[in-house]
């Protein structure tokens, strides 16, 4: 079906043209609402009195704070450095004094407060020392390492630290760089305006990123509703640095996997990253930030933010990170009286901001002032009528109606089978649902439940394993104690029966003899065997059956004694081994001389410990994620 569609789209666009794109399933085309905010040029917002910089502005570990309250800092100074692999630095957006490092409300869907650095600006806007780097003359590895200090993260909204995406990977070298300029969400125009006004700087950034990745080609994917931006980019790319490809305006074409498919007809397998197939994707604003970092030494301290919706003059601003939302709204002419709340991001995937005092962060691409008739509350949900409009709209080709059914009935196993975790939460399904079911909410719920259950299960498995191990150890120790007792008893008996042996000269030969003499014979036989085994002694005595001289009629009675003898032999062996180890002066932790089963046990213990350590580690890393 897709092949047919591709064929059709290619025929429509004309065969052989370099602008052919490959359609994905579904997608929706909501009213764009971009014209409101893309008529005015980008305006630089003046520096506010205080800036509040959340440490959590990116995906990954929190950075380590390097300043303390009372410190005077310069513009561009490192306030917190990246810690751990996936982390990003935070810089002072202007000069001033650190007045607080405490918990404040941050722009996050949870609405929970988090650690922030508060900076009281001195109005001097005094730069610290800047260190531009000539990227053409430097080693690639050094360049990428220095980017770790830039604080640059994906500015399209994903906020993934950029230096990690640029690390070289010898296993799958990058051949194609894709610049995501689709900006498919309604209302948002920050990338549009950036391309119109700063295309040259973007292309300069593209050259750096191409160089760092070693990519041969670069494609810029722009939706066909941004003709001015597309033209500007084409002009800037005249030397062939990149190829501008216009894609149809269809949400969510800006999703990385969708964009790769649109431009390259390449489906990234669900369990792989695009880099595994030699493709890396960067947002336009991100490559521009990388250019400014190398060309001028400027770290990531500001971004372009679209302010639109129910404000007097919707437009784009260049905003320092940490600027209070209220300043930004005021700059856009203020919100109308009937504004109910503010949304960060677009209307398809954005979220409600907890207050108008939250700071602008690296993720803030758009702020929409909402009013009731702009985004009316959905009417009460009706039952699903299985009309499958959601399935028709799903860009991942999922069956949202089935996922909804499974999520609603807490049938999480089934939901996972139906590829719930491939859902990108783009909202297309909810957008087209006649029963106005908040489908995405159900998927978010199911995902979080599954993740929580998986974690709980892992922890429970670990606990069970530990307990099993403990029980096994107790059992083993018990056995060892019993063996020791048996050994002692056997030794006593041997002594006693040796005396008896000497006393009794004539052993009974006929089966008709009394039971007493029978027993004695058995004991005598057992002792003989035990002696024989002791003689054979230890590790080399393997086959007890081979040295079994007992008469068959005594077998049943002999068995316990036989066992004891074996045990005794084993203990002997163990002792010998211990002794040998002690003589060799080996550490008690040494495991080479222990029997294989014990070695296995030790290995298992180590594995469990390792696992426990990893689990606690992953726990913390999960918490650290945005």
Residues forming contacts to another protein in the complex (CB under 8 A) are 1, 24-25, 28, 30-31, 109, 111, 186, 257, 261, 267-270, 343, 345, 347-352, 370, 375, 378-380, 382-389, 391, 395-399, 401-402, 418-419, 422, 427, 430-436, 438, 440-441, 444
Least distance to another protein, CB of residue 352, Å: 5
| In the complex, least distance from residue 109 CB atom to another protein, rounded to whole angstroms | 4
Report the C-alpha gap between 408 and 390 in whole angstroms.
16
Q: 84 to each of 57, 273, 289, 302, 408, how far by Cα in Å? A: 15, 21, 22, 24, 38
Least distance in angstroms from the C-beta of 187 to another protein: 10
Residue 99 CB, nearest distance to another protein (Å)? Answer: 30
Helix (H/G/I), strand (E/B), else coil: 607: helix
Q: Which is nearer to another protein, 28 or 541 (CB)?
A: 28
Cβ proximity of 60 and 158 under 8 Å:
no
First to last CA, the chain: 38
Least separation in angstroms between residue 87's CB and another protein is 24
Nearest distance from residue 444's CB to another protein, in Å?
7
Question: What burial class does residue 580 get, using C-beta atoms within 10 Å of its C-beta: 0-12 exposed, 13-18 middle, 19+ buried?
Answer: exposed
**Which one, 233 or 437, has the nearer CB to another protein?**
437
Residue with smaller CB distance to another protein, 35 or 580: 35
Residue 237 Cβ vs another protein, minimum distance, rounded to whole Å: 30
To which H or E segment does residue 515 belong?
A: helix 515-536
Residue 254 burial (CB count, 10 A): 25
Rounded Cα–Cα distance for residues 607 and 66 (Å): 37
Q: Which is nearer to another protein, 321 or 431 (CB)?
A: 431
User: Based on CB atoms, which residue is closest to another protein, 243 or 374?
Assistant: 374
Instruction: Report in angstroms how near the CB of residue 118 gets to another protein at its nearest.
Output: 25
With respect to another protein, which residue has the nearer C-beta, 75 or 257? 257
CB of 363 to another protein, least distance (A): 13
User: Which is nearest to 123 in space by CA: 71, 46, 37?
Assistant: 46
Beta strand segments in 231-339, E? 243-247, 279-283, 302-309, 315-320
Structure tokens at 39: 């008529």
Q: Indicate the residue among 271 and 592 with the shorter CB distance to another protein.
A: 271
Beta carbon of residue 600, minimum distance to another protein (angstroms, whole number): 38
Of 351, 332, 391, the C-alpha closest to 37 is 332
Return the number of the residue (96 or 347) whose C-beta is nearest another protein. Answer: 347
Q: Smaller CB distance to another protein: residue 255 or 298?
A: 255
Smallest gap from residue 272 Cβ to another protein (A): 8
Phi, psi of 361 (to 5 degrees): -120, 180
Closer residue to another protein, CB minimum distance, 31 or 70: 31
Q: Are strands 96-105 and 72-73 parallel, antiparallel or unpaired?
A: antiparallel
Residue among 357 and 620 whose Cβ is closer to another protein? 357
Angle at 89 between CA 86 and CA 91, to 5 degrees: 165
* Cis geometry, peptide bond prior to residue 252 (ω within 30 degrees of 0): yes
DSSP state of 324: B
> Please, which residues have CB within 8 angstroms of residue 509's CB and are 6 or more apart in sequence?
none
Closest contact distance (angstroms) between CB of 150 and another protein is 29
Query: Cβ 402 to another protein, closest distance in Å?
Result: 7
Nearer to another protein, 166 or 428 (CB): 428
- Secondary structure in 3-state letters for 246-273: EECCCECCCCHHHHHHHHHCCCCCCCCC
The answer for residues whose C-beta is within 8 angstroms of residue 555's C-beta and 6 or more apart is none
* Cβ distance to another protein smaller for residue 209 or 368: 368
- Of 383 and 511, CB closest to another protein: 383
Q: Pick from 147, 153, 178, 191: which is nearest to 242 by CA? A: 178
Considering the complex, state which of residue 29 and residue 531 has its C-beta at the smaller distance from another protein: 29
Please state, in angstroms and rounded to a whole number, the distance separating the CA atoms of residues 126 and 75. 6
CB 7 → another protein: shortest distance, Å?
18
Say what the alpha-carbon torsion angle 5, 9, 15, 20 is, to the nearest 10 degrees. -110
Residues 506, 521: Cα–Cα separation, whole Å: 11
3-class secondary-structure state, position 223: strand
Shortest separation between residue 178's beta carbon and another protein, angstroms: 16
Smallest gap from Cβ 266 to another protein, in A, equals 10
Dist CA 150 CA 144 (whole Å) = 10
Residue identified by tokens 């190398």 is: 294
Cα separation, 395 vs 424, in Å, equals: 9
Which residues are CB-contacts of 224 (< 8 A; sequence separation ≥ 6)?
230, 246, 247, 248, 249
Query: In sequence order, what E strands does 142-211 have?
Result: 176-181
By beta-carbon proximity to another protein, the closer residue of 1 and 535 is: 1
Rounded distance between C-alpha atoms, residue 340 and residue 359, angstroms: 19
In what order do the strands lie in the sheet containing 50-54?
50-54, 113-121, 96-105, 72-73
């Amino acid at each position: 079906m897709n092949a047919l569609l591709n064929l059709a789209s290619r025929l429509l666009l004309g065969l052989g043209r370099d602008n052919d794109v490959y359609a994905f399933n579904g997608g929706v085309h909501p009213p764009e609402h971009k014209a409101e905010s893309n008529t005015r040029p980008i305006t630089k917002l003046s520096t506010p009195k205080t800036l509040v910089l959340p440490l959590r502005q990116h995906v990954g570990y929190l950075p380590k704070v390097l300043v303390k309250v009372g410190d005077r800092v310069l513009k561009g100074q490192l306030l917190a450095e990246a810690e751990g692999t996936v982390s990003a630095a935070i810089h002072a957006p202007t000069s001033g004094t650190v007045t607080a490092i405490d918990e404040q409300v941050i722009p996050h869907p949870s609405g929970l407060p988090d650690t922030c650095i508060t900076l009281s600006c001195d109005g001097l806007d005094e730069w610290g020392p800047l260190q531009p780097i000539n990227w053409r003359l430097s080693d690639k590895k050094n360049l990428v390492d220095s980017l770790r200090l830039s604080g640059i993260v994906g500015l399209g909204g994903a906020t993934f630290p950029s230096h990690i995406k640029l690390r070289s990977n010898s296993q799958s070298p990058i051949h194609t760089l894709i610049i995501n300029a689709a900006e498919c969400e309604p209302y948002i125009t920050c990338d549009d305006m950036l391309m119109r006004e700063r295309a040259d700087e973007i292309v300069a950034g593209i050259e750096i990123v191409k160089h760092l990745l070693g990519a041969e080609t670069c494609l810029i994917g722009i939706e066909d509703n941004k003709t001015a931006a597309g033209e500007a980019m084409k002009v800037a790319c005249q030397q062939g640095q990149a190829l501008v490809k216009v894609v149809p305006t269809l949400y969510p074409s800006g999703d990385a996997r969708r964009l790769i498919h649109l431009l390259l007809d390449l489906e990234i397998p669900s369990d792989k990253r695009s880099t595994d197939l030699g493709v890396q994707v960067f947002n336009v604003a991100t490559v521009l930030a990388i250019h400014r970092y190398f060309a001028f030494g400027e770290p990531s301290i500001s971004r372009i933010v679209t302010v639109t919706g129910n404000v007097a003059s919707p437009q784009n601003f260049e905003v320092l990170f940490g600027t209070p939302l209220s300043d930004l709204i005021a700059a856009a002419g203020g919100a109308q009286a009937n504004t109910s709340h503010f949304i960060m991001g677009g209307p398809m995937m954005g979220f409600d901001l907890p207050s108008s005092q939250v700071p602008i962060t690296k993720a803030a691409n758009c702020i929409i002032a909402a009013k009731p008739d702009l985004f009316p509350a959905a009417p009460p949900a009706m039952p699903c009528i299985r009309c499958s409009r959601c399935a028709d709209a799903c860009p991942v080709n999922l069956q949202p109606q089935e996922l909804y059914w499974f999520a609603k009935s807490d049938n999480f196993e089934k939901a996972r089978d139906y590829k719930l975790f491939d859902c990108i939460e783009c909202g297309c399904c909810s957008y087209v649902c006649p029963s106005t079911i908040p489908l995405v909410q159900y998927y978010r719920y199911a995902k979080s439940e599954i993740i929580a259950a998986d974690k709980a299960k892992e922890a429970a498995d670990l606990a069970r394993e530990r307990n099993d191990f403990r029980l096994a150890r107790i059992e083993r120790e018990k056995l060892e104690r019993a063996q020791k007792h048996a050994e002692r008893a056997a030794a006593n008996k041997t002594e006693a029966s040796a005396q008896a042996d000497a006393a009794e000269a004539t052993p009974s030969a006929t089966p008709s003899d009394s039971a007493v003499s029978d027993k004695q014979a058995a004991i005598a036989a057992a002792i003989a065997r035990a002696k024989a085994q002791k003689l054979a002694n230890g590790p080399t005595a393997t086959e007890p059956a081979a040295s079994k001289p007992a008469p068959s009629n005594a077998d049943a009675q002999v068995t316990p004694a036989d066992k004891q003898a074996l045990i005794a032999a084993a203990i002997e062996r163990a002792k010998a081994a211990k002794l040998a180890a002690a003589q060799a002066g080996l550490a008690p932790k040494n495991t080479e001389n222990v029997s294989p089963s014990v070695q296995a046990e030790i290995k298992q213990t180590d594995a469990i410990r390792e696992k426990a350590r990893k689990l606690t580690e992953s726990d913390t890393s999960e918490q650290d994620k945005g």
